[in-house]
């Protein structure tokens, strides 16, 4: 299975009848978190996508490049006892358990739009906590300017990693002020349930004003640094994928327009909708980029 950047191309809707049944079974099999999370003022009132759509139309290249590959193959990921290393420019470096970083009692529900760079979108009801609250536990040191994230690297559990198409592990990064923004969360659940493996269990980043690839799944390390981190998509094809990757309908991808998007689940006749600046979060985040040329810093 050779992954290359030209695989990332908008594709036509398709119906996968088998996956309707699979979703019903997955719904039964997925443990409830036992609480729904405190509602927050950050949620959209748009209708969330179905559990079926959210868990059977995924990008998680560690399990293959097809949209249904993660649902089919991510069962091999072992999430029990998962630890996240927090290191670099922090007062208390160490390996932290997921429950220590994201206690169930602190979970908030955040219903966010997710806009993939491939020009499709969804609305997902996450359960998570602000990344800022997690960074505060480790104590960010004054010189830190960026945060680097890495996904697990283990080809035994992640069959997609047996192909060296991406320089594994999957890497992402944020500027510190982006990381500290109240919209930026670490999620451990969705729809009131423990995060399904295909969505990045047991803990993944969600940055709703950026293209979906910034929202790195199954995170094993968080590193505070004074340098802009390398990111997987930028390493693969820097002319197409930048460090910032803010959703921007005015800056097209070199191979397709970013002006509109296809909302998954809207049906074959649902048509396309306009993509909004910063994915509709401009009021909250535009200040972060004041004075920056967003065509250069794509």
- Residue 96 touches which of ligand MTE, Mo ion, none (Cβ within 5-8 Å per kind): none
> Is residue 212 a contact residue for Mo ion (CB under 5 A)?
yes
- Smaller CB distance to Mo ion: residue 109 or 172? 172
**How far is it, in rounded angstroms, from Cα 112 to Cα 42?**
8
Give residue for tokens 């002319």.
Answer: 239
Could you tell me if 118 and 182 are in contact, meaning their C-beta atoms sit under 8 angstroms apart? no
Residue from 116, 119, 124, 135 binding Mo ion (CB under 5 A): 116
- Smaller CB distance to Mo ion: residue 1 or 32? 1
> Is residue 148 a contact residue for Mo ion (CB under 5 A)?
no
193-222: contacts with ligand MTE (CB under 6 A): 199-200, 212-213, 215-218
Taking Cα atoms as reference points, which of 173, 86, 171 lies closest to residue 136? 86
- Residue 279 touches which of ligand MTE, Mo ion, none (Cβ within 5-8 Å per kind): none
Minimum Å gap between C-beta 105 and ligand MTE is 24
The first and second tokens of residue 34, run together, are: 């036992």
The first and second tokens of residue 141, run together, are: 């040191």
The first and second tokens of residue 217, run together, are: 């799944």
**How far is it, in rounded angstroms, from Cα 144 to Cα 88?**
9
Minimum Å gap between C-beta 141 and ligand MTE is 27
54-113: contacts with ligand MTE (CB under 6 A): 58-62
223-282: contacts with ligand MTE (CB under 6 A): none
Using CA atoms of 77, 115, 256, 240 in order, give the dihedral in degrees to the nearest 10.
-60
- Smaller CB distance to ligand MTE: residue 140 or 206? 206
> Is residue 213 a contact residue for Mo ion (CB under 5 A)?
yes
Could you tell me if 44 and 166 are in contact, meaning their C-beta atoms sit under 8 angstroms apart? no
**How far is it, in rounded angstroms, from Cα 297 to Cα 289?**
10
The neighbouring-strand residues paired with 122 are 114
Which positions touch ligand MTE (CB under 6 A)?
58-62, 114, 116, 151, 170, 199-200, 212-213, 215-218
Q: Which residues of the chain form contacts with Mo ion (CB under 5 A)?
A: 59, 116, 212-213
């Amino acid at each position: 299975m050779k992954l290359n950047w030209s695989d990332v191309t908008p594709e036509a809707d398709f119906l996968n009848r088998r996956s309707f049944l699979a979703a019903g079974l997955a719904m039964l099999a997925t443990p409830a978190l036992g609480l729904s999370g405190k509602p927050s003022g950050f949620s959209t009132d748009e209708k969330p996508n179905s559990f079926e759509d959210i868990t059977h139309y995924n990008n998680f290249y560690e399990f293959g490049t097809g949209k249904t590959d993660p649902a089919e193959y991510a069962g091999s990921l072992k999430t029990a006892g998962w630890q996240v290393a927090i290191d670099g420019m922090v007062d208390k470096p160490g390996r932290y358990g997921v429950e220590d970083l994201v206690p169930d009692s602190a979970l908030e529900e955040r219903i966010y739009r997710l806009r993939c760079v491939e020009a499709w979108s969804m609305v997902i009801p996450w359960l998570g906590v602000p990344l800022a609250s997690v960074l505060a536990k480790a104590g960010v040191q004054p010189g830190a300017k960026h945060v680097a994230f890495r996904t697990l690297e283990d080809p035994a559990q992640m069959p997609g990693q047996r192909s060296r198409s991406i320089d594994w592990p999957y890497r992402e990064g944020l500027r510190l002020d982006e990381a500290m923004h109240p919209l930026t969360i670490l999620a451990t659940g969705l729809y009131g349930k423990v995060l399904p493996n295909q969505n990045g269990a047991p803990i993944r980043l969600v940055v709703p004003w950026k293209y979906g690839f910034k929202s790195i799944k199954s995170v094993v390390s968080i590193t505070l640094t004074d340098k802009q981190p390398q990111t997987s998509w930028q390493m693969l094809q820097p002319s197409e994928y930048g460090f910032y990757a803010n959703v921007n309908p005015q800056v097209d991808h070199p191979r397709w327009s970013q002006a509109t998007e296809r909302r998954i689940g809207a049906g074959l006749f649902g048509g396309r909708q306009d993509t909004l600046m910063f994915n509709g979060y401009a009021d909250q985040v535009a200040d972060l980029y004041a004075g920056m040329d967003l065509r250069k810093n794509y």
